[in-house]
């Protein structure tokens, strides 16, 4: 199934625009003194990362449109990290959960093709439903990813405007024609997007737009009419739900909201004393349901407040 159709179907079935970012920070998951490692009574990085993913995936299966594992947090654990990521991808697939692997890769020609082979080729153990891609090297650096995505029915999300405080330095740079650079990038993404549209009307070429910059969302929504917009930075990074509305088409379509820390480390807010795996799951589930409802309230889906009284 075309990536955008898979996302659209799950979005409607679960009535959820939420993406759970799986960012297993080493100091919170692997450090011997972390609450997670103490609770699981292990110092084996592959086991700890796999167990963390398993809990987050069980939560996502009940609440989220997709999961977004962050490659960096697996890479920094070396080979055991890669083995855990492989298991995470396998588990997600078995659960029917779409996986957006946050790799932010970008390179030229045959090197970009090698990255596409690593993550968008069904024969790879790291085959994901979609990856994030960095556009700095130019349109020709995106082509191999677009081609691989078309071939395997997977998707890509191109970084257009990121959520960090310093994203403006280059992305907002005003060009001689008066437009910021991110708009120029968006036009290139839109052209690629129009070449691969699913039955639902959306493309498998999406865009990443930080949830922290609401003033850009409506501009980018109109520049990218056929792209699914992935909005990271909601929750812990300061992005607020009410700022996100401009990214959505009517009925809560066309955008996904990613939240990581506020969900996956929610158990750290629980009282001191012994945690258990089931309490960690419960805390994550509660935080995910809360995020899902906040987003529903903004986009106008979900049970209406009046009908539930």
The residues annotated as belonging to the active site are 104
The answer to whether 48 and 29 have CB atoms below 8 angstroms apart is: yes
Q: CB of 4: closest distance to its own copies in angstroms?
A: 24
Nearer to its own copies, 109 or 251 (CB): 109
**CA geometry: angle at 58 spanning 55 and 64, to 5°?**
120
Q: Which two tokens stand for residue 5?
A: 């159709």
- Per CB under 8 A, 170 contacts its own copies: yes
Please identify, among the stretches 43-51, 54-62, 174-182, 287-295, the one whose residues bind its own copies according to the rule CB under 8 A: 174-182
CA distance 70 to 222: 28
| Residue 47 Cβ vs its own copies, minimum distance, rounded to whole Å | 16
Q: Judge contact between 77 and 88, C-beta under 8 A.
A: no
Distance CA 278, CA 156 (A): 34
Write down the least CB distance from residue 79 to its own copies, Å: 6
> For 122-139, b where at least 16 C-beta lie within 10 A, e where not — what string?
eeeebbbbbbbbbbeeee
Site map (CB under 8 A) of its own copies, residues 107-136, x = contact = xxxxxx-xx-xx-----xxx-------xxx
Number of residues that make up the chain? 309
Tell me how far the alpha carbon of residue 198 is from its chain's centroid.
20
Q: How far is the CB of 183 from its own copies (least distance, A)?
A: 11
Q: How many angstroms separate the CA atoms of 22 and 183, rounded?
A: 29
Q: By CB under 8 A, is residue 106 in contact with its own copies?
A: yes
| Beta strand spans in 46-154 (E) | 66-69, 100-105, 130-133
How many Cβ atoms sit within 10 Å of the Cβ of residue 8? 21
Which C-beta is closer to its own copies: that of 266 or that of 296?
266
Report 148-167 residues binding its own copies (CB under 8 A).
Answer: 159, 162-167
Q: Does position 303 bind its own copies by CB under 8 A?
A: no
**Pattern 65-104, its own copies, x by CB under 8 A:** -----x-xx-xx-xx--xx--x-----------------x
For residues 23 to 62, the per-residue mask of contacts with its own copies, x marking binding by CB under 8 A and - elsewhere, is x-xx------------------------------------
CA-based torsion, 189, 195, 201, 202: positive or negative: negative
The residue ranges that bind its own copies (CB under 8 A) are 23, 25-26, 70, 72-73, 75-76, 78-79, 82-83, 86, 104-112, 114-115, 117-118, 124-126, 134-141, 159, 162-171, 173-176, 178, 181, 184-185, 188
């Amino acid at each position: 199934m075309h990536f955008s159709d898979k996302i659209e179907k799950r979005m409607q079935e679960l009535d959820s625009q939420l993406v759970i970012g799986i960012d297993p920070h080493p100091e919170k998951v692997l450090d011997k003194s972390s609450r997670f490692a103490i609770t699981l009574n292990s110092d084996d990085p592959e086991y700890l990362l796999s167990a963390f993913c398993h809990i987050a995936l069980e939560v996502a299966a009940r609440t989220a449109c997709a999961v977004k594992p962050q490659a960096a947090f697996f890479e920094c654990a070396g080979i055991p990290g890669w083995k855990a990521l492989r298991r995470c991808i396998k588990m997600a697939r078995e659960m029917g959960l779409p996986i957006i692997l946050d790799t932010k890769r970008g390179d030229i020609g045959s090197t970009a093709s090698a990255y596409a082979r690593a993550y968008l080729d069904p024969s790879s153990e790291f085959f994901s439903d979609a990856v994030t891609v960095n556009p700095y090297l130019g349109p020709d650096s995106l082509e191999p990813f677009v081609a691989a995505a078309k071939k395997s029915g997977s998707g890509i999300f191109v970084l257009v405007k990121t959520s960090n405080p310093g994203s403006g330095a280059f992305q907002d740079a005003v060009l001689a024609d008066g437009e910021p650079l991110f708009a120029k990038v968006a036009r290139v993404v839109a052209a690629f997007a129009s070449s691969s549209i699913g039955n639902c009307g959306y493309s498998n070429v999406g865009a990443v737009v930080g949830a922290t910059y609401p003033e850009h969302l409506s501009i980018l929504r109109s520049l990218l009419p056929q792209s699914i917009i992935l909005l990271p930075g909601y929750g812990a990074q300061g992005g607020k739900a009410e700022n996100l509305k401009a990214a959505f088409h009517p009925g809560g379509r066309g955008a996904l909201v990613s939240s990581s820390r506020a969900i996956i480390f929610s158990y750290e807010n629980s009282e001191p004393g012994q945690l258990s795996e089931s309490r960690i799951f419960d805390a994550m589930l509660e935080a995910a349901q809360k995020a899902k409802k906040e987003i529903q309230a903004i986009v106008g889906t979900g049970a209406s407040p009046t009908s539930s009284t």
